[in-house]
Structure 1
């Protein structure tokens, strides 16, 4: 149970943590599977302002300790943000300690199996279209450049190897001799309907990953086959 201690100084508000990927989304969805926790979440997000533990407990007929426990669990999963405010409106000595309040977080939770990243594809396509309208450069050329640049950015986020990075972003890599085949396309539905555009984008995205990791032993190649991503990482001729 979580119990307030009147003499404790309030903790400073913490900035929301960045999403950590599909595992954190699965954990967040699992947290909402508990009925009382889900009722508390629904109550908080329907309010026009932040909600205190006492307010939530009273609204749902819960013990304050129960409400506090579940609200903090929702905050731990980044489904709710925590803010501190003095509800009295007073400031300075004697104003009392700020109340711990909860509000909807900016985190968006999406769980897809197999893993998909349609938002990334949408951003790259939108950026390419906007830049092409401004510069007159062909949209496809801009898209390939944007995808390669983004792939290089992904590579500097701390993945120890190409294989680990591909796993992190849902490509389901597997070794095939010295090559790496990809068991999942994160852009699957788009690739089915707009194969040339999306597969070309994916090719340059993974080419950028290899460049960003300074991986000279592999090259990204288009090699569509049933049940696999259209891109395959093959050993370079020099390797």
Structure 2
């Protein structure tokens, strides 16, 4: 089972994208990712006609934002005493940066759907049945992650909850584009995901119900009678 990145953890993505707004820093990032191997400060500075100190500052800022990885290598190929200090080198990070407004979670949906297809192929169980179970398992896991409240979890995963009397309406669907084209599949997945969230939180005061409407998620949370 996997856990999608919570909203609080996604805030650094905004910072990382903002870091690339600086022209020199963006040129250095583009240069490093185009190279077949790691790049030193001296090499980057020479390639872009920058002072070494300037290149070092911006490369380290990119590393601080996890856009570049830092490694240390001895370029001479020698080791042991007299081989000198390893050079500080930079290469593209494996981190993926994505910011979406409104919040979308297509990777989460894609993984659930892929898991369902693979398990269905291996066991012969209906895909929809597996998808609903996987979604509910994930929701239970998300709800059990030391979350202080139901609203906190819903906000963290992009549902934009708002109260309308006793009902919690979800103003945003994190799977919006998928839900428009594959409504039954995605809304069913979403329903079971939110069933799981309620279970994981031990929240007995609400139940997740399908209630499609324009401009909002197809699921809403209604008080238990």
Shared topology, TM-score over 0.5?
yes
Q: TM-score range by the shorter chain?
A: over 0.9
Give the structure-2-normalised TM-score.
Answer: 0.93
Q: 2:55 matched to 1:67?
A: yes
The equivalences for 1:1-239 within 5 A come to: 21-237=9-225
**TM-score, scaled relative to structure 1:** 0.88
Q: 1:178 to 1:109 in 2, by over 3 A?
A: same
Residues matched between the structures, number:
220
2:175 and 2:9 map into 1 onto residues whose CA distance is: 16
For structure 2, list consecutive stretches of 5 or more residues without a partner in the other structure: none
RMSD: 1.5
Unaligned 5+ segments in structure 1 are: 1-17
Distance in 1, matches of 2:9 and 2:103, equals 10
Residues 109-158 of structure 1 deviation map (CA, whole Å, 9 limit, x = unaligned): 22211111111111111110111111111110000000011112222333
Structure 1 stretches of 4+ moved >6 Å: none
Shift of 1:21: 3.9
What is the CA–CA distance in structure 1 between the aligned matches of 2:174 and 2:152, rounded to whole Å? Answer: 15
Shift of 1:98: 1.6
Q: How many Å apart are 1:206 and its aligned residue? A: 1.0
Distance 1:97 1:157, change over 3 A: farther
* Relative contact order higher in (CA < 8 Å, ≥ 6 apart): 2
